[in-house]
Structure 1
Amino acid sequence: MLKKVSLLSALATVMFVPTFANEAFLVNYFNDLATIQADFEQTVIQQKNKEISSGELKIRKKTAKNSIAGFYFDYTMPFEQKLISDGKKLWHYDVDLEQVVIKNLANFEQDSPMFMIFNNQSLNTQFEIKTLKNESKYRLTPKKKGDISSIEIEFNKGNISKVSAKQTNGSLDLKLSNVKMNANINNSVFTLKVPKGVDVIDETK
Structure 2
Amino acid sequence: MNMLRKTMSVVAVSAAMLAPIMSTNVFAATAAPEQQATANLVKQLGNIKSLTANFEQTTKVTGGSKVAQKKGLSAQHMNQTFKGTMSVARPGKFYWETTSPAKQTIVTTGRTVWIYDPDLQQAVRQNLDEQVANTPALLLSGNTNQIMQAYRITQPDAGKTYYTLYPKQKDGAFQSLTISFGVNKAPSLMILQDSLGQTTTVRFNDVKVNPTIPESKFNFVPPKGTDIIDQ
Q: TM-score, normalised by structure 1?
A: 0.75
- Counterpart of 1:173 in structure 2 is 201
Q: 1:156 aligns with which of 182, 197, 206?
A: 182
Task: Return the alpha-carbon distance in structure 2 between the equivalents of residues 18 and 201 of structure 1.
Answer: 42
Structural RMSD (CA): 3.0
Deviations 1:102-136 (A, max 9, x none): 23333322222223454211666642312347334
Deviations 1:32-84 (A, max 9, x none): 2222110001124574431421110112222xxxxxx2211111100122111
Task: Answer yes or no: is the 8 Å Cα contact 2:94–2:138 preserved in 1.
Answer: no
Q: 1:61 aligns with which of 90, 95, 102?
A: 90
Structure 2 SS opposite 1:92: strand
Higher helix residue share: 2
Identity of aligned pairs, percent? 24
Structure 1 alignment gaps of length 5 or more = 11-16, 63-68
Deviations 1:119-164 (A, max 9, x none): 2116666423123473343323345544332211123323321011
- 1:24–1:156 distance in 2 versus 1, CA, 3 Å: same
Task: Return the alpha-carbon distance in structure 2 between the equivalents of residues 24 and 101 of structure 1.
Answer: 35
- Counterpart of 2:28 in structure 1 is none
Q: TM-score, normalised by structure 2?
A: 0.68
- Runs ≥4 residues deviating over 6 A: none
Structure 2 SS opposite 1:111: coil
Q: Which moved more, 1:134-143 or 1:47-56?
A: 134-143
Higher strand residue share: 1
Task: Answer yes or no: is the 8 Å Cα contact 1:9–1:108 preserved in 2.
Answer: no
Matched, 1:86 2:109: yes
Task: Return the alpha-carbon distance in structure 2 between the equivalents of residues 3 and 144 of structure 1.
Answer: 22
Aligned length: 189
- Counterpart of 1:65 in structure 2 is none
Higher Rg of the two aligned structures: 2
- Counterpart of 1:3 in structure 2 is 3
- Counterpart of 1:107 in structure 2 is 130
Structure 2 alignment gaps of length 5 or more = 11-33, 62-67
- Counterpart of 1:29 in structure 2 is 44
- Counterpart of 2:212 in structure 1 is 184
Counterpart residue identity of residue 115, structure 1: L
Task: Return the alpha-carbon distance in structure 2 between the equivalents of residues 154 and 138 of structure 1.
Answer: 7
Q: 1:130 aligns with which of 155, 162, 166?
A: 155
